[in-house]
């Protein structure tokens, strides 16, 4: 995938309005002075208001984490042997609590910077 590389200031949101933040910065690479996120650790979602009211569902089922799908990361640029995340990267369905039907993928709205692209 090609696109602007994500840094820790990236904007990733669930479809319900919750904001996902990366949990693990890469200690070796910074873009514009901000570390990039490592690709395997999950992004943590906060502020998701999703609910499935009883009797159809268990009640509040907010999105809590999402991981990026490896094939959607960069193929030619790596750090510490791991591909980097970019604006066109996609997540797997969100994990919710309590478990509910799979939540949609999280779109990346803003990479956190607009100077460095990867492929």
Residue ranges of domains in the chain, CATH in brackets: 3-118 (2.60.200)
Mean pLDDT, 10 residues at a time, the chain of 119 residues: 90 89 95 94 90 68 87 90 92 78 78 92
User: Does the model's pTM come out above 0.75?
Assistant: yes
d(CA 81, CA 78): 6
Q: ω into residue 55 within 30 of 0, thus cis? A: yes
């Amino acid at each position: 995938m090609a696109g602007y590389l994500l840094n820790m200031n990236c904007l990733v949101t669930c479809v319900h309005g919750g904001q996902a933040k990366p949990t693990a910065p890469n200690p070796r690479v910074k873009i514009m002075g901000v570390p990039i996120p490592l690709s395997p650790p999950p992004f943590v979602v906060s502020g998701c208001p999703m609910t499935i009211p009883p009797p159809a569902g268990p009640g509040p089922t907010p999105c809590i984490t999402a991981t990026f799908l490896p094939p959607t990361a960069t193929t030619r640029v790596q750090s510490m042997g791991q591909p980097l995340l970019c604006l066109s990267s996609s997540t797997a369905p969100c994990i919710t609590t309590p478990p509910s039907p799979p939540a949609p993928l999280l779109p990346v709205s803003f990479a956190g910077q607009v100077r460095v692209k990867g492929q």
